[in-house]
Amino acid sequence: MTLQIALIAHDKKKSDLIEFAQEHQETLSRADIMATGTTGKRLMEATDLEVDRKESGPLGGDLQIGGKVADGTCDGIIFLRDPLRAQPHEPDISALLRICDVHDVPLATNLASAEHFISGMFS
């Protein structure tokens, strides 16, 4: 069974997520990747990963991913968030945290936890 992984980032963290995906491209290529709109576009431009792009965050892409968690088709999320400067138009992590906790799905919110996520999910 192929893992289904979601990648999301606030605007100020998109570059960090792109760099992370480039560093872990070989590992991430073994999973089915989904992402919110702009993040997914940037991932596809910067890597050879195939990405199932959902709507952009302001248009509900984070909610689409939350629905995948709820229906059991998302195995984990890396959501690099900006805890100090998140903008009102950016995805809200609270709903994703809740649905991941309800369904016992891992959610990494920073680069350190994303490294552990990769190690744990692909070992």
**pTM score:** 0.94
Domain residue ranges of the chain, discontinuous segments joined by +: 4-121
Q: Is the CATH code 3.30.70.240 the one for domain 4-121?
A: no
Q: Is residue 2 predicted with pLDDT exceeding 80?
A: yes
- 18-26, long-range: CB within 8 Å, 24+ apart, which pairs? 18/42, 18/43, 18/46, 18/47, 20/78, 20/80, 20/111, 20/114, 21/46, 21/47, 21/49, 22/46, 22/47, 24/118, 25/49
Q: Which residues are annotated as a binding site?
A: 10, 14, 36-39, 56-57, 89
User: pLDDT tens-digit profile of 31-57?
Assistant: 999 999 999 999 999 999 999 999 998
Annotated catalytic residue: which of 32, 62, 92, 101?
A: 62
Q: Which residues contact 39 (CB under 8 A, 6 or more apart)?
A: 7, 8, 9, 14, 17
Annotated catalytic, 75?
no
Q: Which residues are annotated as a binding site for substrate?
A: 10, 14, 36-39, 56-57, 89
